[in-house]
Amino acid sequence: MKQPCYTLYGALPLRYYLLSFCFFFLSANAPLAQNPLFKSPTSGILGGSGALEKSLWAFFTNPAGLSELSTAVAGIGYQNDFHLKELSARTAFVSVPFRTVNFSGGFSHSGYQHFNTQQYSLALARKLAPWLNMGVRFNYHHRHQSGSQNAQLITLDAGWQLAPSEKIHLGFYALNPARNQWHQEDLEEDHGPLMATSVAYLPVSGLQLEAGLAKEMAFPPTFSLMLTSQVHKTMTLRGTAASAPLRFGLGSGLVWQNIHFDMGLAHHETLGFSSAFGLLYQLSNPTKP
């Protein structure tokens, strides 16, 4: 069935205005950014932008992707950078869809005994049209450092996903676009935003080619290419190449009944390997029509 085409002022379709805004917003805020606390095994750990993530793992990148979920799902995950215990993170989260909106919540913890950060998040996502997903995420951050006063921070993230056609998909999200800062004693510390966008081409069913761009504070832009292939109804393979610096990633996903297992492994040319693992469990039958 042909997708509806909404217009503004009787001129160009709404999707083109959204796309133009995406690239303008990304360019205008390019010097500022941050890293997500937890890097998902399906995109973040592999070096992908995650702007077109449409599974429960979208909880850590673009919240708009959560609107694609049609059943209640819970998950846990573990991530480690360069085999260092101090650079590990773990998470637990759940998502429950209703007829008009999807509610998701979760907890993430990164660090070790003397320096760690905790993050509590609540996300709301909605499918506004067959070709348009939008979502927002509220975060409360709590940072502990031995010998120093604890610090707190509240941030808001937002994103959207657009499907101009069955074979072309676009995505964009921003983390902390309001540029809220950490407050500790009499000091303020920047927690700059991260902007990311992706475009994907789906030549055939089960195959997706995705190009992404992300900008983080004090770092050059990161360009990424990701290939995702569903080689079997129970198995998905992923491969990525990302710049700044050059690194490669491999990942896979396995499905068995109500259980979905994802893993990702990436190699940094200087620091070595990073990995992430996650387990998702479908709690109920689909609730959306």
pLDDT tens, position by position, 69-124: 999 999 999 999 888 887 889 999 999 999 889 999 999 999 887 888 899 999 99
Token pair belonging to 188? 């303020």
H/E element holding 20?
helix 14-28
Residue 288 forms part of a structural domain: no
Residue 95 lies in a domain: yes
- 287 found inside a domain: no
Q: Angle 51-240-75 (CA atoms, 0-180°, nearest 5)?
A: 55
Q: What digits encode the pLDDT tens for the residues 148-201?
A: 778 888 899 999 999 999 999 999 999 988 777 777 666 667 777 789 999 999
Would 222 be classed as within a structural domain? Answer: yes
Whether 182 and 153 have beta carbons less than 8 Å apart is answered as yes
Cα–Cα distance for residue pair 229/50, rounded to 1 Å: 16
Structural domain span for residue 180: 14-282
6 to each of 10, 126, 172, 191, how far by Cα in Å? 9, 17, 19, 37
* Structural domain contains residue 2: no
Which residue in 249, 218, 250 sits closest to 237, CA to CA? Answer: 250
Q: Is 0.85 surpassed by the pTM of this model?
A: no
**What is the number of domains present in the chain?**
1
Task: Tell me the CATH number at 231.
Answer: 2.40.160.60
Q: Is 106 part of a structural domain of the chain?
A: yes
AA letter at 86? E
Judge whether 4 lies within some domain: no
Is the residue at 179 inside a domain? yes
